[in-house]
Structure formats: C-alpha cells, structure tokens
Structure 1
Amino acid sequence: MTTMTTTDTTTPDTPRPPKAVPATVPAPAAGLIPLPARLGRAAATGGGALTVLSAFLSWTWTSAFPGDLTVYGYPGGLQWLVLVSGALTTLFGIASYGVRGTRWLVPAGADAAIRFAALAAFATAWFTVIAICVQLGGVINLEPGGHVVAVASLVALLGALALPFERPAAEPADPDDGGLDRLRHESRTRWATVRAAFAAGTPAAPARKLPSWAEILILAGVLAGGLIVFTYGITTEYDELFTGFLITAGFGFAALGKAGLIARASALAARHRNVAMVGAFVAAAAFPFTQSDDQYATIGVNILIFATVALGLNIVVGLAGLLDLGYVAFLGVGAYAAAMVSGSPSSPFGLHLPFWAAMLIGAAASMVFGVLIGAPTLRLRGDYLAIVTLGFGEIFRIAVLNTDGTSGPDITNGSNGISSIPNLDILGFDFGAEHSVGGLTVGRFANYFFLMLLVTLIIVVVFRRSAESRIGRAWVAIREDETAALAMGINGFRVKLIAFALGATLAGLAGAVQAHVTYTVTPEQYQFAHAVPPNSAFLLAAVVLGGMGTISGPLVGGALLFLIPAKLQFLSDYQLLAFGLALILLMRFRPEGLIPNRRRQLEFHEDQEAPATLSKAGA
C-alpha cells in the first residue's frame, strides 16, 4: 500500500504573500444627513450659539403675541426656552471636541445629546414662529430675530443629524504583524477609537470620586434645578408657553439622559439615599414660598394627591403585578369615610372628630374594603382580575348613588355627596386661613400642600420599606412568575392580599386629605374614566408612564398627567385622543417608563448587558 504524504513546500526563504494593511482610523458610522461628522459637529455647535444670540433679538413687531417678543436685548416668554435649548446644544457641541473642563458634561458621549438638544431648540423655535404667523396673520409679522432663530435652529438640527448614530469600532490589529509597524498601528487605533467613541456615545471612564460633602452639594444643585423647572411649568401663564415648556423639557431631559448626566445624578442619589429623599421633600416644601398667592398652590396640592395615590397603586401593579382597574374606589372610600366624621352638616352621623382620627378612619375603611374585595377575587389572575376590579369600582360608585335615603339607606346623600366639609384645625392651626411665614403669606391651598407633602412622605417611606422587605421580594417573585413563586413555597394568596390591603390603605390616607381640600365629595369624582383626574384610567397610566416598581416614577407620571390637562384647556375636547396617542408613542419608544426600574428596563431591552447587581425595587 502506498502512503501519500503531504509536505509543506514553503521554505524559510519563500516570501509570504502580501497582507492587507489594516486601517488605522476607524470609519465613522453615517448619520441621517450625508455630511462629514466634523462639519456636522461644527454646524450643530455654531447653530446652537446663533440660536442663543437670536433670543436677544426681536421676533415680532407687536406685543399681541403673548410673552412680548418685541424687545431687543432681553428674552421674553418662549425666547427663554429657545435660549436654554440652544445653550445646551452649544455646550454639548463644545464638549464633543474634548475641550478641557467640559468633558464632565458628556460622561456617556456627546453625539446623541447634541441631537436631542438641537431637536429641542428646533422644535420650540419653529413652534413659536409658526404660532406667531398663525395668530398674527402671516410671515410678515416676523421681525429679523424670528428669521434668524428659524435658520439657526435648522442649521443646528441638520448638523446634529449628520453625526453618527452608531458607535465606530476599531479594526483589530493583525496578530502576525510585528515590529514598529504593529506598535504604530496599535497606538493610532487606540487613540482614534478613544476619540471616535467619546463623540459617539461610548461611556467614558468612571468619574473621579468626590468627597461626600461635594456630592451632597451637587445633589442640592440638582434638586434646586428640579424645583425651578417644576415651578416654571406650573406657573406658565398661557397655552403657547406651556406647550413650548413641554417640548423643551421633554427633549432637554432626553439630551441630559443621553449625555449621562441623569445617570450620574441618579448614582449620587442612590449613594446618599436618605439625604436625597430629605432634600427632595425640602425642595418640594419650598414651592409654596415661590408663589405670591394660592393660584398655583391649588395645582400643586392636587398634583400631590394624584401622585401619591398613583404611588399606592404602584404597590399593587408595579410590585405585585396585580392589574387593578378600580383603584380609585379606595380613594373614594377614604374620602367618604373621613368626610362623614369631620363635622359636615350634610353627614347623617353628626360627628366631628379630630383630623388624625378622621384620617385613621378613612385609611381603615379603605383597608377593610380592600380585604373584602381582595379575599374572593385575588385567586384570579391577569385579565380576569382586571375585570373584577373594574366591576368593583363601578359597584362602589353605584352604591354611593343609591344610598341617598330614597333608593337605599341615607348614608351618602346620593348624587349630592357630602358637602361643606370644614377646614382642618390641628392644634389651633387653621388650614383655611392665611398665615405669614418669614414675611411671606401662605394661603389655604399652601397649608394643605404642606399637609399633603407630609402624607406623601409617609407613603414614600411605607413603599420603600415594603419594597425592600421580605414581603416586597415576595411581591416581585409573584409578579415575575406566580407559578414558580408558589412552587418555591410563597403563599401567593396571602402575599397578594397584603399588597391589595396596603395599597387600599395608602389611597384612603390621600382620600382623607382630598375630602378637606375639595370641600365636597361626590360619586362623579371616582369614575373609571373621568374628565378630571384622579380616576382609575389616569392612575394606572401614571404608574406605567412614570415607571412601575419605582418611587419617583409614579410621582413624575402623576404630576405630568394632572398638570397637562390642567394647563392645556384648549385640548379638553380632544383630551382622550391626545392621551391615547401619547400612550402609543410611549409604548413604542419607552415601554419601561420615564424613570424605569433597572430590572424592568432589562426585560424590555434584553440585548443590553445585565449589570453585576440589579437595583432595588424601590430605587
């Protein structure tokens, strides 16, 4: 048998075939606009700077357009919003060049932040220009500043859209290369990758650890900025200004998030959680002192009521995963129970208990109803549970209507409700009277704002402690997979009943305050879908919009869903249409919510790398 052998005919003297020289500079990814990235970055930065300058010019010749945009040298109304957006675009553009002292602005990269900041400037500027032309009757009403801001914001946006949308990756060096060529290739590739990745959005190296006092000062500055934004949004005087505020705030916060600043602020808040929570409530308590009267404190106290009820619902929906469509009924139970014992002349009981007793009765009544409703229904799951809770909400409203002394016993006065609920008087402090604090006048609604802020603090502490407890982990287990949780020995029915009862109790606390704020409680206030929140549909949307399983998510979602209908009165006929479109866009682009829990964010974005440790449910 002949054995065939294969030999290597290549000798040491035989030259190797030439190899392709790898590129030393990674090719940048293309943007939406076919322009070089350097030109796009320059256009975005320059356009942002010109947008800032245009805010100091006159945009229209007449003060008939609200905000008085006729003054040279001083911005007014919507010009301030455009100025802020243009300044963000300029700062992020400068930081993208790696200028010393500016890199802290973009710890997660500059390109995405530039795009959102430029989009905020463009959208707000063009909204203003179009509104001027429509309201005043044509382009002829624009002054030079209006033309300049339209062109400058467009140039900035086009430049931002020319920036790469993907992170460029360096080509690996050929391992067979050696000597000086290989070292030169590695060095050039490394620095080119660092420069390109910094601009494209690759997270930078971790920030240098600051002293604790410096981090707390930064947190104080962030909270002060949040107070300024919140106060500005509430005190907007006309629809155009509030619409511009929504545009600027929405895209502006997106730009800050893409830059990595919000993530770093969140990391500082997580590192100093107690300080951050106390600071947040101190900043909120400062809100009434920024107002000269009670006009906007009314909106503030109602936002707190709506947001805290949403936080209570977040225990049921966000932590335990129980879809409750009749949750507003527990708010009604607490409000009616407190109103009946607070000295109202229309109450059939004729009781006038102290507020602390009325609040406890309202919370206890809601808890009892929560147990009575939850005990026979919580063995259901999913859609069946949602249908049953929806039915409970309607049963409560119909029962209140029928207990009017004609169709049933005289308890709630039927459709007339419990009216003329007296103002609170706690230790001689009359909540219905004006008080002077440090030379500032604090009105009725400001007094109730402080009271509701205290209730909110109680609910936040209860939520946080519950979420981090053993029962909180059991809720999360039930939410993730009830069958697996039952197999691991968790008593699913008991755990869900506790969540249902606790959520109802917190709603009852808020309802007791609401009864005194509104003077009257009626059945129409507690429908599933009502023109004015809170109602079950808006409460559930607030939890989903803000971020299920978090503390700050429902508070932010509740504030937005109450503030937007209250400020945009011209959308009253199209409120549900706008609400539905907003939910569709949210589910498409950010299904995890505005302030998501890290665990839920990973559920919706499974392609992301999981962190070493997941954040706690109440983070």
Structure 2
Amino acid sequence: MSENTLTTETTAVAKTTTAPATLLWAIVAGAVATVASTFLAWTWTTAFPGNLTVYGYPAPLQMLTLVGAVLTAAYALAALGIKGFGWLIPTGARKALWILALGTFVTTLFTAISIIVELGALVDLEPGAGVAVVAAAVPAIAAYLLPDDTRKAAPAKPLPSWAEILVIVGAFAVGLYVVTFGIDTDDSEPQLFIAYLILVGFAATALAKSGLTQRLTRITARNRQVTVASSLVMAIAFPFLQQSGDTYTLIAVNILIFATVALGLNIVVGLAGLLDLGYVAFLGVGAYTAALVSGATSSAFGVQFPFWAAALTGMATSLIFGVVIGAPTLRLRGDYLAIVTLGFGEIFRIAMGNLDGTSGPRITNGPNGIPNIPHLEFFGYNFGESHTVLGIELGAYANYYLLMILVMALVVLVFSRAGNSRIGRAWVAIREDETAATAMGINGFRVKLVAFALGAALAGLAGTVQAHVNTTVVPENYMFAGPVPPNSAFLLAAVILGGMGTITGPIVGSALLFLIPAKLQFLQDYQLLGFGIALILLMRFRPEGLIANKRAQLEFHENDDDQLAVPEQRQSAEAGTQADGTAKAGA
C-alpha cells in the first residue's frame, strides 16, 4: 500500500471521528445562544399576552424556550462524553437530541409567528426574537446531521436504596411542577398553553427515545411502595400550590372525575375487551341517584342521606343497571355489543329528560334536571366552604379535589387487585380469544357480566361526587358525544389514547382530553377535527397508546429489536459478510 493511500485513509478516519464532535459543539453553542436570547425582548409592546418586552428576565413563553435549550445542551454534553451527563443517554443520544432541538425550535418559532399574527406585522418583532429563532435552528440542523448511535441500554449500575428513593421523589416533584404549570396557564394566553404542549410533547418523546424513561420505570418497579406514597403525596400537594385559589382547581377536580370513570371503563374495554359505547350512562345513574337522595330541593323523594350512604346507593344502583343491561346483551360480541350499549346510553339520556311529570312520572324534573344539590358535609366540615389548612386557604373545589384523590385511590386499588386476580386473568383470556378461553373452562358470560357490573359500579361512585361538585344534574351531561367531556366517546378515547389495560394510561389520556379543550376554548368549533387528527397520528405512530402494557407493546413492536440493533453490530456483521464473500472469491 502506498504512502498516499495511507494518508488518505488516515484523513478520512480523522474526519469521521471529529465530525460528530464538531456538530455536538455546534449544538451546545446554539443552545447557549438560545438561552441568552430568552433574556432579550422579543417584542416592543405589551399588547401581546405575556409581556415579552422585558430585558434580563424571561417571560413564561421565553422560559419554555430556555428549558428546551438547557435540555438540548445537557444531552449534547452527554453525547460528548462529559463526566456527569452520561446517565441521560442509556440508549443513545442522536434521536433524543434531534427531538429536543426540534421541539425547542418549533416552540420558539411558534412564539415568533404568534407575535406576528397577534400584532399584525413582522416589525413587531424585536431583534431578540430573531436571534432566538436562528439560534434554536442551529441545534436542530446539527442534531439532524449526527450519525445514528442507537444502542441497547447497558445494565445500569445499582444505586443505593436511598438514592433510588431520591430519584423517585425528584421525578414526581418535577412532574407535579410541569402539570401545575400547564393547569395554571392563564386562559387569556392560549399561546402559552400551546407552546407548553409542544415542548412537553417533544421532551417526553426525547426522554423515552434516550432510554431514561425506561430506567426510571425499572427504579419505580423496584420501589413500589415509595412510588405509590410519592404519587399520593404529590397529588395531595397540588391544591396547596395553587396561587389563584379555586380558579384552576375545578379543572383538576373534573380531570380526576373523568379519569376515575375512564379507569372503570378500562376494566370493561381494556381488560375484558368489551366495546361499550354507552358507558357514560352509568356515570349519570350514580349522579342522579346521589341527587335524589342527598336532599336536593327538587328531589322527588325528599330524603337526605349522609354522603357515604348516598355513595353506596349510587354504586349499588349503577351496579344493578350494569347487571340488568349486561345480562341480555353480553351474549353479543363486537359491533353488535357496541350498538346495543350505544342504544342504552341514548335511552338513559332520553328517559331522564322524559321523567318530568308530563311525558312520564315526575322523578328527574325532565330537561331542567335536579338543581341545588347541597354540598357534602363530614363531621362538621362543609365542602362548599373555604377552610384554612396548614396556613393555606382551600376553597370548595380544593375540598372536592382531595375527596376525589381518595376516590381515585380506591378505584386504582380495585382495578389493580382485580386485574391481578384470577378473574382478571380470565378477563384477559376472554379479550384475547373468547372461543379458546371458553374451551379451557372459563364461563365467558359470567366473567364478562362481572366486568360490566364492576365497571358500572365504579362509574356510579364517580357520579355521586360529580353531582355534588356541579350542584346540578341535567341529561345533556351524559351524551355519547358532545362538546364537553366526560361523554362516552371521550371516555373511550381516553382509554385508547392512554393505553388499554394500564392504570396510568387512562389517567394521562383523561388529563389530556379534558385539559386541552378547557384551555383552548377558542378552538371549540374545530375541536373534533383536531381530536380526529390526533387519533390518526396516534394510531400511526403509537398504536399501543401513550403508556402501554408489555403485552400490547410486544404485539405492536415485535420486530423492533431487529430494527434497533446496535449500528456498530450491523456494520461489523456487514463487514463480516463482505469478508466471507472475499475469502470465498479468493478460494
């Protein structure tokens, strides 16, 4: 081999080695410039919501760009091998880096475009906004040019138990802050909430692609009791962190009600595989029952049960309805069962509107519903009044929020115990193949009826609380599809979006499907359009849901192991194949 050939090969190897490092340092430089741009003014007038005219102090919209740039820089430093950052990239840095850099750029660009659209001219942008857009584009372009370094995560070094506890507590604290930030965004600033959704979506995807989410999941699995306790403490701490009183706590209460009902539906759909399109009717049964027996002035019964009795009555009534409706219909399967349950939901809503004393017996006051439902009272603690706890004033909705935390904890306990029990395994067997399960001795009808009745009872429990939170019950609240959740369509979507058969999946799906319409009310006319587009994208890129169980993940991604093989292994395999071919040719 000649000296010129050796020189050329050495130069090529050097370029291959230094190119990623150059790109990574470009990413770091662009991220630092992006951070600096958030301390500049992005517009000259306060007419744009959020006041982006201040120098030296980032506004909330600029803070989102700052956070994205800091995360991008951290991942770039991890890819460079800087000590102390390697734990960020168990499965490689390139995908996570590109997603984070792209998310930061999209968030920044969205803010700049919003300023132009809101104020009406390009000249309304200050130079700081231009610097931010250009600086954020540099890491996005550089990260896209990086070579793929995807690899299987090496076994993590074992941490002391106290360190794992700190990791869990820290993760939940960050999660609480992120959720609180999103709920607390001012309704008059929809740009802030949209930018928040963009950045959180990209960041969550990046954490999953880097393998960090999987490692955190393993840590929480090893410390279940600490995980449960941390999640409960963080959830209880939410109303104490609200700076605006009950303004946004009502949204949190409705999210919990929505999520509790979705968990009940998850038993029917996610575990037993029964497509129920009228499930919201069971929520209405519980709500109407509680309204009739809780002392409402327009109640036809004129009785006032204590809440525990009203809750049990609502659960029992919903369970009875579940058995009565399920007994003749659960012998059907698939589309036929879906049509029958859809009919039941519509029959319930119409019946509640006709029991007004004219079209039928006077029980529900017809379309006017049952108003003036009194607030709950436990041992002299009135849920409708403000109370000072630990020096912090809690309003009425904060009281109901804490009550719903207890209700949800009960529902989660029932779901987890039932799912891991003998009947839970029978539900899964029925869902996977009812014919095979029946051949193995499982009584399919009885198992499905238990799932239907249990799901109805849990929905009825949530309905009893909803009646007192809203202080009124009307038939229009329990439609198959409507502008405001919960309704049957949104409940089913929450289960599918979050991940069927899991506990956290429907909770996350419910939070997204309730929070987004509540914060983006100006898009109400296009809400269903956006909802449909989101479901199409979800089915295309993540058909198992945002938080999927292992079975669904394996079913939908059974070939991913071959696709995600380590690049170096693929290259060595290809080199080995070429070497074998050369040897055979030489022979």
TM-score of the pair, normalised by structure 2:
0.91
Return the index of the structure with the highest Cα Rg: 1
Matches within 5 A, 1:455-534: 455-534=407-486
Q: 1:243 and 2:243 equivalent?
A: no
Q: 1:298 and 2:250 equivalent?
A: yes
Alpha-carbon distance in 2 for matches of 1:276, 1:511: 28
Shift of 1:39: 4.1
Matches within 5 A, 1:79-478: 79-165=62-148, 200-237=149-186, 238-292=189-243, 293-478=245-430
Aligned to 1:617: none
Shift of 1:24: 12
Shift of 1:27: 10
Do the aligned residues in 1 keep the contact of 2:288 with 2:473 (CA within 8 Å)?
Answer: yes
**How big is each residue's C-alpha offset from its partner over 1:414-455, in whole Å with a ceiling of 9 and x where there is no partner?**
101111000001111100111001111000000000001100
Amino acid at match of 1:456: M
Shift of 1:262: 1.2
**Which 10-residue stretch deviates more, 518-527 or 399-408?**
399-408
Alpha-carbon distance in 2 for matches of 1:309, 1:491: 26
Alpha-carbon distance in 1 for matches of 2:13, 2:422: 51
Do the aligned residues in 2 keep the contact of 1:303 with 1:558 (CA within 8 Å)?
Answer: yes
Runs of 4+ residues deviating >6 angstroms: 23-28
Q: 1:589 and 2:541 equivalent?
A: yes
Shift of 1:49: 2.0
Answer 1 or 2: which has greater helix percent: 2
Aligned to 2:27: 44
Alpha-carbon distance in 1 for matches of 2:232, 2:453: 26
**How big is each residue's C-alpha offset from its partner over 1:238-271, in whole Å with a ceiling of 9 and x where there is no partner?**
1000000000100011111111111111111111
Secondary structure, counterpart of 2:47 in structure 1: coil
Amino acid at match of 1:54: S
Shift of 1:43: 2.8
- Of 563, 571, 580, the residue aligned with 2:532 is 580
Aligned to 2:57: 74
TM-score of the pair, normalised by structure 1:
0.87
Alpha-carbon distance in 2 for matches of 1:482, 1:609: 30
Alpha-carbon distance in 1 for matches of 2:274, 2:477: 23
Do the aligned residues in 2 keep the contact of 1:337 with 1:358 (CA within 8 Å)?
Answer: yes
Shift of 1:536: 0.3
Do the aligned residues in 1 keep the contact of 2:383 with 2:400 (CA within 8 Å)?
Answer: yes
Alpha-carbon distance in 2 for matches of 1:285, 1:203: 38
- Classify 1:429/1:333 alpha carbon distance in 2 versus 1 (closer, same or farther; 3 Å): same
**How big is each residue's C-alpha offset from its partner over 1:209-263, in whole Å with a ceiling of 9 and x where there is no partner?**
1122211111000000110001000001110000000001000111111111111
**How big is each residue's C-alpha offset from its partner over 1:458-498, in whole Å with a ceiling of 9 and x where there is no partner?**
00000011111111111111111111111111111111111
Secondary structure, counterpart of 1:160 in structure 2: helix
Alpha-carbon distance in 1 for matches of 2:26, 2:119: 32
- Classify 1:96/1:349 alpha carbon distance in 2 versus 1 (closer, same or farther; 3 Å): same
**How big is each residue's C-alpha offset from its partner over 1:380-438, in whole Å with a ceiling of 9 and x where there is no partner?**
11111111110110011111111111111111111011110000011111001110011
**How big is each residue's C-alpha offset from its partner over 1:473-524, in whole Å with a ceiling of 9 and x where there is no partner?**
1111111111111111111111111110100000000000000000001000
Do the aligned residues in 2 keep the contact of 1:40 with 1:158 (CA within 8 Å)?
Answer: no
Shift of 1:145: 1.1
Shift of 1:164: 2.9
Matches within 5 A, 1:535-546: 535-546=487-498
Q: 1:60 and 2:43 equivalent?
A: yes
- Classify 1:25/1:361 alpha carbon distance in 2 versus 1 (closer, same or farther; 3 Å): farther
Amino acid at match of 1:230: V
Shift of 1:37: 4.0
Shift of 1:25: 13
Secondary structure, counterpart of 1:286 in structure 2: helix
Unpaired runs of 5+ residues, structure 2, are 1-8, 563-587
RMSD, matched Cα: 1.8
Shift of 1:278: 2.0
